[in-house]
């Protein structure tokens, strides 16, 4: 059974760097046919796609966050990670990681999601 589990600090102060990790179990992050995503949800709001990373290290960042976000993958630990710099209260959100499927050589939907980790930015 494939599972994703986010982990992170829970709370941090403005201007700090947020670091989150998604641990994948039940499938190798290096196996073909998948890509790995970060999505966030502000309290009471809709879903915002942050970006993706492939096991090869290929990344795409949503332009809305591109200047502050970095993804990485650690195949030896079967994990991928997010770093978001210079956080503000506007980054307070529930952060999800999710597996995306490649269909007909093109990225498609997210079939497995983590449970989400709440991040609060407050002084």
Total binding residues toward other proteins, as defined by CB under 8 A: 25
Residues 48, 70, 78, 118: which binds other proteins (CB under 8 A)? 48
**Which one of 14-22, 23-31, 79-87, 112-120 is the stretch in contact with other proteins (CB under 8 A)?**
112-120
115 binds other proteins (CB under 8 A): yes
Token pair 């709001």 is found at 45
Radius of gyration (C-alpha) of the chain in whole angstroms: 14
Paired tokens of 29: 């992050």
Rounded distance between C-alpha atoms, residue 107 and residue 55, angstroms: 14
Residue 84 to residue 70: CA distance in whole angstroms: 7
Q: Which stretch binds other proteins (CB under 8 A): 13-21, 43-51, 71-79, 82-90?
A: 43-51
Q: Which range of residues in 12-20, 72-80, 81-89, 114-122 is near other proteins by CB under 8 A?
A: 114-122
Residues in 57-96 that interact with other proteins by CB under 8 A: 60, 62-64, 96
Whether residue 80 contacts residue 86, with contact meaning beta carbons closer than 8 Å, is answered with no
Judged by CB under 8 A, the residue of 90, 104, 122, 123 near other proteins is: 104
Integer CA distances (angstroms), 28 to 60, 66, 75, 81, 86, in order: 21, 27, 8, 15, 32
Interface residues with other proteins (CB under 8 A) are 46-49, 51, 60, 62-64, 96, 100-101, 103-111, 113-116
């Amino acid at each position: 059974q494939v599972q994703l589990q986010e982990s992170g600090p829970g709370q941090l102060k403005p201007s700090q760097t947020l670091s989150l990790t998604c641990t994948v179990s039940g499938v190798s992050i290096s196996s073909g046919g998948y890509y790995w995503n970060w999505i966030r949800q502000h309290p009471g709001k809709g879903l915002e796609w942050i970006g993706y990373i492939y096991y090869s290290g290929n990344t795409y960042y949503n332009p809305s966050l591109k200047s502050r976000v970095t993804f990485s993958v650690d195949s030896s630990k079967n994990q991928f990670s997010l770093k978001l710099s210079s956080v503000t209260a506007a980054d307070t959100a529930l952060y999800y990681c999710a597996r995306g499927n490649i269909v007909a050589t093109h990225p498609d939907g997210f079939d497995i999601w983590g449970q989400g980790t709440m991040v609060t930015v407050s002084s």
